[in-house]
Amino acid sequence: MTFHSRAHPDYQTLVFLEVEQGIYQLSINRPNVLNALNLTCLEEINTCLDLIEQDSEIRILLITGMGEKSFVAGADITYMAQLDAHQAQAFSDYGNQTFSRLSQLKIPVIALVNGYALGGGCELALSCDFILAAETASFAQPEINLGILPGFGGSQKLARKIGLNQALELIMTGRSISSDEALHLGLINHQYPADELAQEGLELARRLIHKSPYALAAIKQLIHDGLNLPLNHALSLESQTFALTFAGQDRQVAMQAFLNKSQASFKPSR
């Protein structure tokens, strides 16, 4: 593994590495507080997103937490304890903007949930395109136990992902669920033994890196945008986006490769 050439080596709360060509990993690195997210952490995630958005050589992003115990155990309660309502709104806005930027990246983003994904940790995972979890992982939106509610998107994204009934129950009780239950509810894509999670994440990344970057970005945006539209509008958006893929180069490369019985190879695009 190598540090990304343009990454800031002085990140206080993150590690950003190139795992192999085109595949990068961002690890939240505050293991002493189970990778809880403070303001510095959100700022550094934004700096990292700046790099990713500008560098078309970054094709796939993996996100995980340092250490074996925790992905992210939520927003930093020590930091939140001193906020007034006005500051809390700014913190929530900033967290929501950060996680929206992450969701809107044009490349596939894979969460590797290696332990606790609580509060902001569950919301971070919900902002990724795929959630792979260790069998030892657990998920919760426990904000109710602090007299607050999810502030980085959980109140909206969890219901969209697993449905109203389950989201209401999880957010109103703060109940922690196992990786098994998260799989059953459709919160995560796959579950693996803890010591196989990193390798499985890499395998998924290697499969995705051979797909058309243009089509991957278009699919991601279309599905997200379409979810917020009436079906007839969403279907017209699908037709428009389908047409756009025909205007791009990747589909010529891919269709020609099929006809030639060869392997398509795509150039990075952004």
* 203 is annotated as an active-site residue: no
Catalytic one among 20, 57, 143, 169? 143
Structure tokens at 235: 């279907």
Window 30-59: contact mask with ligand COA (x via CB under 6 A): ---xx-x-----------------------
- What span, in angstroms and rounded, lies between the C-alpha atoms of 190 and 61? 17
From 123, 181, 203, 238, active-site residue? 123
Beta 130-134 vs 190-192: how paired, if at all?
A: parallel
In the annotation, is 123 catalytic?
Answer: yes
* Angular region, 34: left φ>0, alpha ψ -120 to 50, beta rest: left
Orientation angle between helical segments 39-54 and 85-103, nearest 10 degrees: 30
Write down the H helix ranges in 10-84.
39-54, 77-80
Binding pattern for the stretch 54-93 against ligand COA, x by CB under 6 A and - elsewhere? -------------------xxxxxx---------------
SS (H, E, C) 32-53: HHCCCECHHHHHHHHHHHHHHH
Draw the binding track, 156-175, toward ligand COA (x: CB under 6 A; -: no contact).
Answer: --------------------
Q: Which of 14, 102, 118, 126 binds ligand COA (CB under 6 A)?
A: 118
# of chain residues touching ligand COA (CB under 6 A): 15
Residues forming the site for ligand COA (CB under 6 A): 33-34, 36, 73-78, 116, 118-119, 142-143, 146
Catalytic residues: 123, 143
